[in-house]
Amino acid sequence: MLVVEDDPSIREVTALGLRAAGFEVDTAADGVLALERWRASPPDLVLLDVMLPRLDGLEVCRAIRRESMVPIVMLTARSDTIDVVVGLESGADDYLRKPFEMPELVARVRAALRRHGHDGRAGAVGAVAAGAGASGPGDDFIRLGPLGIDPGGRTVERDGREIELTRTEFDLLVVLARRPGQVFTRELLLDRIWGYDYLGDSRLVDVAVGRLRAKVEADPGAPTLILTVRGAGYKAAREPAR
């Protein structure tokens, strides 16, 4: 794991806590050094502060995403929703606000690793988190209005054109589309997609739904496929128009 944090005390305490939890940890104090170390020895996960010298965390995240789908968990001291949105849009899988408790950080890291095929322990590889939407090649094809969804091949088409979705966006679509009309609370989606419940921030779900709608809806401002159920959560339309 690569921990990128410019504050020496936070960097040291975080590295010590993660090592105590069984992870192998390398560190970097700025964005340029982070990319150099990531390319020299690709880690299983990047824990990335937003505010960094020389190259900020968002730019580091975008640079990594152009080359790899390694899980990225961003750390931020900011409280504005827009910063969360920008981080997720840059390719981060999750985010955590500072100051944080070490048990919560470890839980987030393990959940991110499970979603990407690791079992949450350093250096070990296993099955993805149960219920996270990952599917085998024998799974049935799903039709949601004009969308054709192949869970086994992890592809989505609309009007014969393939739509590029991230891992999280695809898993979210599959979970909803498998049960059209069923309302999924944000807490349930956090558990199904991200692998944790009470540790999560519901805005993570809202941002992911917004990103998914921007790619699959004809008019994201007036969605007909992925619907909001006010005060409850989200659902896939039962019989959306094609």
* 132 lies in some domain: no
> Long-range pairs for 155-163 at CB < 8 Å and ≥24 separation?
156/216, 158/216, 163/215, 163/216
Alpha helices in the chain (DSSP H): 8-20, 31-40, 57-65, 81-89, 102-115, 167-177, 186-189, 202-216
Give the chain's domain count. 2
Instruction: State which residues form the domain around 178.
Output: 142-236
The number of angstroms, rounded, from the C-alpha of 8 to the middle of its chain's C-alpha atoms is: 27
* CATH value at residue 33: 3.40.50.2300
Query: Of 15-19, 90-94, 180-184, 228-232, where does mean pLDDT reach its minimum?
Result: 90-94
CB-neighbour burial class of residue 188 (10 A; exposed 0-12, middle 13-18, buried 19+): middle
**Number of neighbours of residue 18 by Cβ within 10 angstroms:** 22
Q: Same domain for 152 and 193?
A: yes
Cβ(234)–Cβ(209) below 8 Å: yes
- 25 three-class SS: coil
Predicted confidence at residue 119, as pLDDT, reads 47
How does pLDDT run across 144-188, given as a tens digit for each residue?
999 999 998 889 999 889 998 887 889 899 999 999 999 999 989
Identity (one letter) of the amino acid at 223?
P
Among positive and negative, which fits the CA dihedral 30, 33, 38, 39? positive
Rounded to a whole number of angstroms, the distance between the first and last alpha carbons of the chain is 45
* 212 lies in some domain: yes
pTM for the predicted model, two decimal places? 0.67
Residues 6 or more apart whose Cβ sits within 8 Å of residue 104: 96, 199
* CATH value at residue 167: 1.10.10.10
Q: Same domain for 193 and 95?
A: no
Of 80, 96, 115, the position where a domain reaches its end is: 115
Q: Using 50, 70 and 90 to split pLDDT, how confident is the model at 22?
A: very high
How does pLDDT run across 28-77, given as a tens digit for each residue?
999 999 999 999 999 999 999 998 999 999 999 999 999 988 999 999 87
